[in-house]
Chains A and B, each alone.
Chain A
Amino acid sequence: MNNAMDTVLFYVLALIVIIAACGIVYCKNLVHSALFMTLCFISIAGLYVLLNADFLAAVQLMVYAGTVVILIALGIMMTRRISMDRSNMAERKYTGWVKCISVVLFICLSYIFINFPVPLAKVNTVQDTVAALAQLLLGHYVLAFEIAAVLLLAAMIGAVVLAKGADDK
């Protein structure tokens, strides 16, 4: 994270992420928002590669850019019967106030992050991230790992029951 190439890459990826996030919010067509979400998540995977988290970049590509976006696009197409134009309009009444709140929150957070920097020591350099993650997940964090598995099972059963309808036989 020291040479000029990384700096240029970070700024290009950050610009793409911000533009795609604004595209998600500002697009009038819901399907275009879902496609912008893919672009945003792929550039975030690039940022993870810059941060030496290559396994997480692969997970981001598979889970977010692949599965989540496709599920949401499928849901949009299943629930929308008429045309897709103007399907993602903002509420006019509150736009000004909400914009105000978000910008004030962003300014406060940026002020804190810029003016009170965390004291840095040596940059962490674990080379083999997959092996180190596996050691942590099945060693120190094994209980949380099992609970996450139970959470996924509960989510699967809950999704099936909710979508099928528990009350209609």
Chain B
Amino acid sequence: MNIGLTQFLVLSAALFCIGLYGILVKRNLFSILMCIELMLNGVNISLAAFNYFLPMPDLSGQVMMIFSITVAAAEVAIGLALIFRIYHDFNTVNIDKINNMKG
């Protein structure tokens, strides 16, 4: 059986859904950040597969992946800074205990 676009898209959907499950069910800020990265990687796989299998004249899909990776890197930097700030203020990284609007 040949590998086509469908197999890659199903794989990326599986990664996206596992990441969604982790985001909704986890209570630690670091695991939520990891699951966001998982979802972004699922989307990146689908972009690469579209770029490979669709009749495109150039590599626009891979350029989109470069931008997506850039945004993900910026998001990790800001996310980690926010988590350190929250840990400094609340002394916890469990989102159930961060329910105080006054800080």
**Chain A residues near B (Cβ < 8 Å):** 1-2, 6-7, 10, 14, 17-18, 21-22, 24-25, 30, 33-34, 37, 40-41, 44, 47-48, 51-53, 55-56, 59-60, 63-64, 67-68, 71-72, 75-76, 78-80, 87-91, 94-95, 98-99, 101-103, 105-106, 109-110, 113-114, 117-118, 120-124, 126, 129, 132-133, 136-137, 141, 144, 148, 151-152, 154-156, 158-160, 162-163, 165
Contact = CB atoms under 8 A, between A and B. Distances in A.
B41 A120 contact: no
A56 B60 CA distance: 13
Given A67-B73, A98-B24, A21 B19 contact: yes
Contacts of A72: 30, 33-34, 76, 80
Contact of A98 (B7, B25, B54): B25
Interface residues of B, number: 72
Interface in B1-18: 1-11, 13-18
B9 A113 contact: yes
Contact of B66 (A105, A106, A133): A133
B60 A87 contact: no
Given A72-B34, A75-B83, A79-B93, A56 B62 contact: yes
A118 B14 contact: no
Nearest to A92: B25
Interface residues of A, dominant DSSP: helix
Interface string B58-72: 111011011101111
B101 interface: no
A89 B27 contact: yes
A144 B2 CA distance: 36
Given A102-B17, A152-B74, A163 B85 contact: yes
